[in-house]
Amino acid sequence: MQAITAAKLYTANEQIGAPLVLVEDGRIIAIHSRESHAVPAGATLLNYPDAVLVPGLVDLHIHGAAGYDVMEAEDSGLRRMAAFLAAHGVSSFLATTVTSESSALLRAVEKIAAQIQQWPEHGLARPAGIHLEGPCISHSRNGVHPLDAIQQPSLEFFDRVYQASGGTLRLMTVAPELPGALELIREATRRGVKVSIGHTDGDAEDARAAVAAGATHVTHTFNAMRPMLHRDPGVAGEALTNPALFAEIIADGVHVDPRVVDIFVRCVGEERSVLVTDAVSATGMGDGIYRLGTFEIAVKGLRAEAGGHLAGSVLTLDQAVRNVMEFASLPLQASVRMATANPAAMLGDDGIGVIREGSRADITVLTAKGEPITSFIAGRERA
């Protein structure tokens, strides 16, 4: 048995002073306060007296890190990425693909799925599934996704990807204005796959139609979608106002101005805002030339670009938490919620983004400023 204690514990709606979290066989078996409970005899005490315990962070949208690109679908690379993420407080993530030619995309999905199904639980962040970003997206809002690999939505395409994923497909980004998109959204929702509206030139009515068909999320709000105008609010306007939608944002100060991040949080609220990184292989590696799928990206400072367009980010999720604390003047607890309970709620996964009795012992230890000290994944301290 492990007994983990700190100055405070934060979940989405609760604070506990001097918490005592008891962990056995990778699960949380009890949560107390040290004011009322002693450390059990024989338990290994792990004490972080000036720190805060929070649920392991959850990144729904990440293409790579530590020199590894998800589309490579190579075992040691994905584990290297997972170790890097654990060092930044992340316990669960969706391995996110990029638009590619069909055979290459299906091959990558199959390989990622095979790794997920055999994943070891020994201190590495866990790929909780696959996020398919594209290829059913808008030609005019493609960002850096290759135009020649974009496809029209179809049930046949969805079924091929779903089967290749072996049930690990958890999220799809789709442009709802495309012919066939609403049928795809309905079928994905029927099979338990969440659908996000993104890389879209659709308007607010297209977004509402997508929600009616089952969409529950918006991909990197403001980026790769038509601008929000006072007579044409678009998908962005719907993301800010529709209570049926969770909405993600890349809070690196590059993709979205810090003042607009503040507006986003004020409108979307602490219950629906989701922090993501959209990180690429260059994350943690420094300036240079890297890969995203089939093409090269150039990284300098905080910018990753291809052909003059932003191409993902080099943001880490713990930095996103700290940035939102600064940009939107939020306390740590509220910002952490956007990287834990909210993405878990969007996925409908009550086993992640929480600290509660019976749940997996995914616990991140932060300073009061949101800087990671260490993390535990299924009760094992990060590798």
Q: Distance (Å, rounded) from C-alpha 203 to C-alpha 218?
A: 13
pLDDT digits (tens, 9 = 90+) for 283-309: 999 999 998 988 999 999 999 999 899
pLDDT 10s digits, 39-65: 999 999 999 999 999 999 999 999 999
Residues 88 and 283 sit within 8 Å (Cβ to Cβ): no
- Of 131, 90, 119, 113, nearest to 353 by C-alpha is 90
Give bridge partners of residue 22 from the DSSP assignment: 3, 30
318 is catalytic: no
| Crossing angle for the helix pair 204-213 and 181-190, to the nearest 10 degrees | 30
Side chain identity, residue 360: R
Rounded to whole angstroms, what are the CA distances from 74 to 69, 70, 87, 118, 283? Answer: 9, 8, 20, 13, 17
Pairing of strands 309-310, 303-306: antiparallel
pTM of the model: 0.96
Helix axes 75-87, 102-117, angle to 10 degrees: 60
Q: What angle separates helix 258-268 from helix 234-241, to the nearest 10 degrees?
A: 50
**pLDDT tens digits for range 171-180:** 999 999 999 9
What structural domains does the chain harbor?
2-53+366-381 (2.30.40.10), 56-352 (3.20.20.140)
What is the spatial distance between Cα 308 and Cα 142, in angstroms, rounded to a whole number? 13
The pLDDT of residue 144:
94
State the pLDDT confidence band at 184, using cuts at 50, 70 and 90: very high
Task: Point out the catalytic residue in the list 201, 278, 318, 362.
Answer: 278
Cβ(9)–Cβ(16) below 8 Å: yes
Cβ–Cβ under 8 Å, residues 83 and 66: yes
Q: pLDDT by residue (tens digit) across 19-35?
A: 999 999 999 999 999 99
SS3 of 376, please?
strand
Q: In what order do the strands lie in the sheet with 295-300?
A: 288-292, 295-300, 303-306, 309-310
Mean pLDDT for all residues in the chain: 96
